[in-house]
Amino acid sequence: MSRPLDDFALIDAFLDGLWLERGVSDNTLQAYRHDLQAWQAQLAEYRADLLSPPAEALPDWLEARREAGYKLRSNARLLSSLRRFYHWALGEGRIEHDPLAEIRLPRVTASLPETLEEDEVERLLEAPDVDTALGLRDRAMLEVLYGAGLRVTELVGLTTDALNLRQGVVRVRGKGDKERLVPLGEEAGDWLSRYLRSGRGVLMQDVTRPALFPGRGDACLTRQAFWYRIKGYARSAGIERHLSPHTLRHAFATHLLNHGANLRVVQLLLGHSDLSTTQIYTHVAQVRLEALHAEHHPRG
Protein backbone atom coordinates (compact mmCIF):
# COMPACT_ATOMS: atom_id res chain seq x y z
CA MET A 1 0.00 0.00 0.00
CA SER A 2 1.18 3.57 -0.70
CA ARG A 3 1.90 5.89 2.20
CA PRO A 4 -1.29 7.42 3.63
CA LEU A 5 -2.38 10.91 2.63
CA ASP A 6 -5.03 13.08 4.21
CA ASP A 7 -8.23 13.63 2.23
CA PHE A 8 -7.22 17.03 0.85
CA ALA A 9 -3.89 15.69 -0.38
CA LEU A 10 -5.64 12.65 -1.86
CA ILE A 11 -7.98 14.87 -3.88
CA ASP A 12 -5.03 16.94 -5.13
CA ALA A 13 -3.10 13.79 -6.10
CA PHE A 14 -6.11 12.39 -7.96
CA LEU A 15 -6.68 15.62 -9.89
CA ASP A 16 -2.99 15.90 -10.76
CA GLY A 17 -3.06 12.36 -12.11
CA LEU A 18 -6.22 13.04 -14.08
CA TRP A 19 -4.70 16.14 -15.65
CA LEU A 20 -1.47 14.33 -16.55
CA GLU A 21 -3.25 11.29 -17.99
CA ARG A 22 -6.12 12.91 -19.86
CA GLY A 23 -5.36 16.63 -20.10
CA VAL A 24 -8.85 17.56 -18.92
CA SER A 25 -9.92 21.18 -18.69
CA ASP A 26 -9.80 23.35 -15.58
CA ASN A 27 -13.61 23.37 -15.45
CA THR A 28 -13.70 19.56 -15.42
CA LEU A 29 -11.07 19.41 -12.68
CA GLN A 30 -13.06 21.90 -10.60
CA ALA A 31 -16.20 19.78 -11.04
CA TYR A 32 -14.35 16.71 -9.74
CA ARG A 33 -12.97 18.71 -6.83
CA HIS A 34 -16.43 19.99 -5.95
CA ASP A 35 -17.92 16.48 -5.97
CA LEU A 36 -15.11 14.97 -3.89
CA GLN A 37 -15.13 17.75 -1.33
CA ALA A 38 -18.91 17.39 -0.98
CA TRP A 39 -18.42 13.64 -0.43
CA GLN A 40 -15.62 14.38 2.03
CA ALA A 41 -17.95 16.64 4.03
CA GLN A 42 -20.65 13.97 3.97
CA LEU A 43 -18.21 11.37 5.31
CA ALA A 44 -17.21 13.68 8.14
CA GLU A 45 -20.65 13.09 9.61
CA TYR A 46 -19.71 9.40 9.91
CA ARG A 47 -16.23 10.27 11.25
CA ALA A 48 -14.86 8.51 8.17
CA ASP A 49 -12.38 9.48 5.48
CA LEU A 50 -12.39 9.12 1.70
CA LEU A 51 -10.64 5.75 1.68
CA SER A 52 -12.93 4.09 4.22
CA PRO A 53 -16.54 5.15 3.56
CA PRO A 54 -19.24 3.23 5.45
CA ALA A 55 -21.38 1.05 3.18
CA GLU A 56 -24.55 3.00 3.97
CA ALA A 57 -23.06 6.48 3.50
CA LEU A 58 -23.43 6.88 -0.26
CA PRO A 59 -26.91 5.30 -0.66
CA ASP A 60 -28.17 7.47 2.19
CA TRP A 61 -26.65 10.59 0.63
CA LEU A 62 -28.03 9.87 -2.84
CA GLU A 63 -31.49 9.35 -1.37
CA ALA A 64 -31.23 12.58 0.65
CA ARG A 65 -30.20 14.45 -2.50
CA ARG A 66 -33.15 12.96 -4.40
CA GLU A 67 -35.57 14.09 -1.69
CA ALA A 68 -33.96 17.54 -1.75
CA GLY A 69 -34.83 17.86 -5.43
CA TYR A 70 -31.60 16.85 -7.16
CA LYS A 71 -32.35 15.22 -10.49
CA LEU A 72 -31.34 11.67 -11.39
CA ARG A 73 -28.80 13.00 -13.86
CA SER A 74 -27.10 15.04 -11.14
CA ASN A 75 -26.76 12.00 -8.87
CA ALA A 76 -25.48 9.94 -11.78
CA ARG A 77 -22.80 12.53 -12.54
CA LEU A 78 -21.79 12.66 -8.87
CA LEU A 79 -21.51 8.88 -8.66
CA SER A 80 -19.46 8.84 -11.86
CA SER A 81 -16.96 11.28 -10.26
CA LEU A 82 -16.66 9.12 -7.15
CA ARG A 83 -16.23 5.96 -9.21
CA ARG A 84 -13.34 7.50 -11.09
CA PHE A 85 -11.69 8.56 -7.84
CA TYR A 86 -11.92 5.08 -6.33
CA HIS A 87 -10.74 3.46 -9.56
CA TRP A 88 -7.68 5.71 -9.36
CA ALA A 89 -7.16 4.92 -5.65
CA LEU A 90 -7.34 1.17 -6.41
CA GLY A 91 -4.80 1.49 -9.19
CA GLU A 92 -2.49 3.49 -6.93
CA GLY A 93 -2.64 0.80 -4.25
CA ARG A 94 -4.27 3.10 -1.71
CA ILE A 95 -7.25 0.77 -1.23
CA GLU A 96 -7.59 -3.00 -1.65
CA HIS A 97 -11.14 -3.00 -3.01
CA ASP A 98 -13.56 -0.50 -4.54
CA PRO A 99 -16.07 0.58 -1.85
CA LEU A 100 -18.59 1.54 -4.55
CA ALA A 101 -18.40 -1.75 -6.45
CA GLU A 102 -21.89 -2.83 -5.34
CA ILE A 103 -23.56 0.55 -5.91
CA ARG A 104 -25.45 0.76 -9.18
CA LEU A 105 -25.29 3.86 -11.32
CA PRO A 106 -28.77 5.37 -11.82
CA ARG A 107 -30.05 4.92 -15.35
CA VAL A 108 -30.24 8.21 -17.19
CA THR A 109 -32.00 8.59 -20.50
CA ALA A 110 -30.04 10.94 -22.73
CA SER A 111 -32.10 13.96 -23.69
CA LEU A 112 -32.08 14.99 -27.32
CA PRO A 113 -30.37 18.33 -27.91
CA GLU A 114 -32.48 21.23 -29.12
CA THR A 115 -31.72 22.08 -32.73
CA LEU A 116 -33.05 24.19 -35.61
CA GLU A 117 -34.53 23.36 -38.98
CA GLU A 118 -32.43 24.41 -41.96
CA ASP A 119 -34.79 27.25 -42.89
CA GLU A 120 -34.62 28.56 -39.31
CA VAL A 121 -30.83 28.56 -39.48
CA GLU A 122 -31.02 30.56 -42.72
CA ARG A 123 -33.29 33.15 -41.10
CA LEU A 124 -30.96 33.43 -38.10
CA LEU A 125 -27.87 33.85 -40.30
CA GLU A 126 -29.56 36.59 -42.31
CA ALA A 127 -30.72 38.55 -39.25
CA PRO A 128 -27.65 40.80 -38.66
CA ASP A 129 -27.50 44.11 -40.52
CA VAL A 130 -24.41 43.55 -42.65
CA ASP A 131 -24.28 47.20 -43.67
CA THR A 132 -22.71 47.86 -40.26
CA ALA A 133 -19.37 46.68 -38.88
CA LEU A 134 -21.08 45.04 -35.90
CA GLY A 135 -23.53 43.28 -38.17
CA LEU A 136 -20.70 42.06 -40.38
CA ARG A 137 -18.88 40.70 -37.34
CA ASP A 138 -21.97 38.94 -36.07
CA ARG A 139 -22.84 37.47 -39.48
CA ALA A 140 -19.30 36.11 -39.80
CA MET A 141 -19.47 34.67 -36.28
CA LEU A 142 -22.83 32.98 -36.93
CA GLU A 143 -21.59 31.56 -40.22
CA VAL A 144 -18.48 30.12 -38.56
CA LEU A 145 -20.46 28.82 -35.59
CA TYR A 146 -22.81 26.91 -37.88
CA GLY A 147 -20.43 26.20 -40.76
CA ALA A 148 -17.69 24.73 -38.56
CA GLY A 149 -19.77 23.40 -35.67
CA LEU A 150 -17.76 25.20 -33.01
CA ARG A 151 -18.57 25.64 -29.36
CA VAL A 152 -19.33 29.26 -28.51
CA THR A 153 -16.28 29.40 -26.23
CA GLU A 154 -14.12 28.15 -29.11
CA LEU A 155 -15.58 30.76 -31.45
CA VAL A 156 -15.14 33.83 -29.26
CA GLY A 157 -11.59 32.78 -28.37
CA LEU A 158 -10.39 32.66 -31.99
CA THR A 159 -7.39 34.78 -32.93
CA THR A 160 -6.32 35.97 -36.35
CA ASP A 161 -3.40 33.54 -36.51
CA ALA A 162 -5.82 30.61 -36.13
CA LEU A 163 -7.41 31.43 -39.48
CA ASN A 164 -6.19 30.24 -42.87
CA LEU A 165 -8.64 31.46 -45.49
CA ARG A 166 -6.46 30.29 -48.38
CA GLN A 167 -6.79 26.69 -47.21
CA GLY A 168 -10.29 27.27 -45.80
CA VAL A 169 -9.57 25.99 -42.29
CA VAL A 170 -9.51 27.31 -38.75
CA ARG A 171 -7.36 26.03 -35.88
CA VAL A 172 -9.54 25.53 -32.81
CA ARG A 173 -8.50 25.00 -29.21
CA GLY A 174 -11.19 22.85 -27.61
CA LYS A 175 -11.81 20.96 -24.39
CA GLY A 176 -8.75 19.70 -22.56
CA ASP A 177 -6.71 22.34 -24.42
CA LYS A 178 -6.71 20.05 -27.48
CA GLU A 179 -6.29 21.59 -30.91
CA ARG A 180 -8.03 20.53 -34.11
CA LEU A 181 -8.24 21.87 -37.67
CA VAL A 182 -11.80 22.42 -38.88
CA PRO A 183 -12.86 23.22 -42.47
CA LEU A 184 -14.84 26.44 -42.70
CA GLY A 185 -17.02 25.92 -45.73
CA GLU A 186 -17.43 28.35 -48.62
CA GLU A 187 -20.11 30.58 -47.06
CA ALA A 188 -18.26 31.00 -43.77
CA GLY A 189 -15.03 31.73 -45.63
CA ASP A 190 -16.71 34.35 -47.83
CA TRP A 191 -18.26 36.16 -44.86
CA LEU A 192 -15.01 36.05 -42.93
CA SER A 193 -13.19 37.62 -45.88
CA ARG A 194 -15.79 40.37 -46.14
CA TYR A 195 -15.66 41.01 -42.39
CA LEU A 196 -11.86 41.19 -42.36
CA ARG A 197 -11.92 43.66 -45.28
CA SER A 198 -14.68 45.94 -44.07
CA GLY A 199 -15.61 45.24 -40.45
CA ARG A 200 -12.82 44.28 -38.11
CA GLY A 201 -10.70 47.37 -38.68
CA VAL A 202 -13.67 49.62 -37.94
CA LEU A 203 -14.32 47.88 -34.62
CA MET A 204 -10.74 47.95 -33.35
CA GLN A 205 -8.53 50.74 -32.08
CA ASP A 206 -5.43 48.58 -32.58
CA VAL A 207 -5.78 46.07 -35.42
CA THR A 208 -2.53 44.36 -34.40
CA ARG A 209 -4.33 42.89 -31.37
CA PRO A 210 -5.01 39.17 -31.90
CA ALA A 211 -8.78 38.91 -31.28
CA LEU A 212 -10.53 37.79 -34.46
CA PHE A 213 -13.91 38.91 -33.14
CA PRO A 214 -13.29 41.89 -30.83
CA GLY A 215 -15.55 43.20 -28.11
CA ARG A 216 -14.67 46.00 -25.73
CA GLY A 217 -11.10 47.22 -25.54
CA ASP A 218 -10.01 45.14 -28.54
CA ALA A 219 -10.26 41.97 -26.42
CA CYS A 220 -12.17 38.92 -27.61
CA LEU A 221 -15.93 39.32 -27.44
CA THR A 222 -17.22 37.51 -24.37
CA ARG A 223 -19.35 34.41 -24.60
CA GLN A 224 -22.13 36.11 -22.67
CA ALA A 225 -22.18 39.16 -24.94
CA PHE A 226 -22.35 37.06 -28.09
CA TRP A 227 -25.07 34.83 -26.64
CA TYR A 228 -27.12 37.95 -25.83
CA ARG A 229 -26.80 39.02 -29.46
CA ILE A 230 -27.79 35.57 -30.76
CA LYS A 231 -31.01 35.69 -28.74
CA GLY A 232 -31.78 39.13 -30.16
CA TYR A 233 -31.27 37.89 -33.72
CA ALA A 234 -33.46 34.85 -33.03
CA ARG A 235 -36.29 37.14 -31.93
CA SER A 236 -35.96 39.33 -35.01
CA ALA A 237 -35.89 36.21 -37.21
CA GLY A 238 -39.15 34.98 -35.68
CA ILE A 239 -37.58 31.90 -34.09
CA GLU A 240 -39.68 31.10 -31.05
CA ARG A 241 -38.22 27.78 -29.92
CA HIS A 242 -35.81 27.62 -26.98
CA LEU A 243 -32.18 28.23 -27.93
CA SER A 244 -29.03 27.29 -26.05
CA PRO A 245 -25.45 28.41 -26.73
CA HIS A 246 -24.94 25.03 -28.44
CA THR A 247 -28.02 25.17 -30.69
CA LEU A 248 -26.14 25.98 -33.90
CA ARG A 249 -23.52 23.33 -33.07
CA HIS A 250 -26.32 20.80 -32.67
CA ALA A 251 -27.83 21.97 -35.95
CA PHE A 252 -24.45 21.61 -37.68
CA ALA A 253 -24.13 17.97 -36.59
CA THR A 254 -27.76 17.05 -37.23
CA HIS A 255 -27.87 18.59 -40.71
CA LEU A 256 -24.62 16.88 -41.70
CA LEU A 257 -26.05 13.50 -40.72
CA ASN A 258 -29.36 14.27 -42.43
CA HIS A 259 -27.38 14.86 -45.63
CA GLY A 260 -25.48 11.59 -45.36
CA ALA A 261 -22.29 12.45 -43.47
CA ASN A 262 -20.38 9.66 -41.75
CA LEU A 263 -20.70 9.64 -37.96
CA ARG A 264 -16.94 9.45 -37.42
CA VAL A 265 -16.40 12.45 -39.67
CA VAL A 266 -18.90 14.41 -37.57
CA GLN A 267 -17.08 13.22 -34.43
CA LEU A 268 -13.78 14.62 -35.74
CA LEU A 269 -15.35 17.91 -36.78
CA LEU A 270 -16.99 18.38 -33.38
CA GLY A 271 -13.81 17.45 -31.52
CA HIS A 272 -15.46 14.66 -29.50
CA SER A 273 -12.93 12.27 -27.98
CA ASP A 274 -15.58 9.54 -27.64
CA LEU A 275 -17.86 8.43 -30.47
CA SER A 276 -20.66 7.75 -27.99
CA THR A 277 -20.90 11.50 -27.39
CA THR A 278 -21.57 12.04 -31.09
CA GLN A 279 -24.06 9.19 -31.41
CA ILE A 280 -26.86 11.19 -29.79
CA TYR A 281 -27.08 13.15 -33.05
CA THR A 282 -28.09 9.97 -34.88
CA HIS A 283 -31.19 9.96 -32.67
CA VAL A 284 -31.90 13.59 -33.53
CA ALA A 285 -31.51 12.82 -37.22
CA GLN A 286 -33.72 9.74 -36.84
CA VAL A 287 -36.46 11.82 -35.20
CA ARG A 288 -36.30 14.25 -38.11
CA LEU A 289 -36.42 11.45 -40.70
CA GLU A 290 -39.41 9.86 -38.97
CA ALA A 291 -41.23 13.21 -38.99
CA LEU A 292 -40.52 13.66 -42.71
CA HIS A 293 -41.71 10.13 -43.40
CA ALA A 294 -44.92 10.69 -41.46
CA GLU A 295 -45.55 13.97 -43.28
CA HIS A 296 -44.76 12.97 -46.85
CA HIS A 297 -45.04 9.20 -47.26
CA PRO A 298 -48.47 7.92 -48.38
CA ARG A 299 -48.37 5.32 -45.62
CA GLY A 300 -46.65 7.54 -43.06
List active site positions. Answer: 151, 175, 246, 249, 272, 281
Contact 284, 250 (CB under 8 A): yes
Helix, strand and coil in the chain, % to nearest 5: 60, 5, 35
SS3 227: helix
Q: Terminus-to-terminus CA distance in the chain, angstroms? A: 64
Contact 23, 177 (CB under 8 A): yes
CA distance 39 to 33: 10
Q: Count Cβ atoms within 10 A of the Cβ of residue 270 and give its class: 0-12 exposed, 13-18 middle, 19 or more buried.
A: buried
The CA distances from residue 36 to 8, 9, 24, 87, 210, in Å, are: 9, 12, 16, 14, 38
Residue 66 CB contacts under 8 Å (≥ 6 apart), including other chains: 72, 75
- What is the DSSP code string of 141-179? HHHHHHHHT--HHHHHT-BGGGEETTTTEEEEE-GGG-E
> Hey, how many other C-beta atoms are within 10 angstroms of the C-beta on 280?
16
Question: Alpha carbon 156 to chain centroid distance?
Answer: 14
Residue 13 CB contacts under 8 Å (≥ 6 apart), including other chains: 5, 92
